[in-house]
Amino acid sequence: MDQSADLAAIPYSGRICAVDYGTVRIGWAITDPAQSLVSPGEIYHRRTPALDAGYFQQLSQQEQICGFIVGLPVHGNGQESQKSREARQFAKWLGGLTSQPVALHDERYTTRAAEEILRESGLKASQRKKHLDKLAATVLLQSYLESRHQPTHSPPPLEDPS
């Protein structure tokens, strides 16, 4: 499976918002317009389809988002799950709702990395839970940005000068 699957091309400048999709809570993080800094956003507690739509439309407009990254939860072996299908549906819904491009990105280890960061911070378990989803979105967005700057193929071998 590709590291990220584009439903539409994400621009290389402008603010990108990463979404750590959940059926109850959704964490998000955002870049600066140059896409060099990533900042955690909020944790949104899902309500009704209409309220969820209003929240994400307002977020898109208020933050001037040029594209979204939605975490694609897959098993350790790369196989997709029911949650993967739900994340794909959410990504399609979000793109249609906001008219912004959306890309899916492998989120296999983002929550684990976020948990480790929070554990090392010395926060109590109850405090860590309050920050987990938005920190997972931050790790997801950083991973996505790093993947865009990696070469997609190996360079050709050096020629023998002799």
Q: pLDDT tens digits, residue range 17-45?
A: 999 998 999 999 999 999 999 999 999 99
Dihedral angle over CA of 119, 133, 71, 15, nearest 10: -110
Mean pLDDT of 151-160: 51
Q: Does position 4 have pLDDT exceeding 50, yes or no?
A: no
pLDDT of 78: 73
Residue 151 has pLDDT above 60, yes or no: no
Query: What's the confidence (pLDDT) of residue 66?
Result: 97
Full strand arrangement of the beta sheet holding 25-31: 4-6, 102-106, 65-72, 15-20, 25-31, 38-45
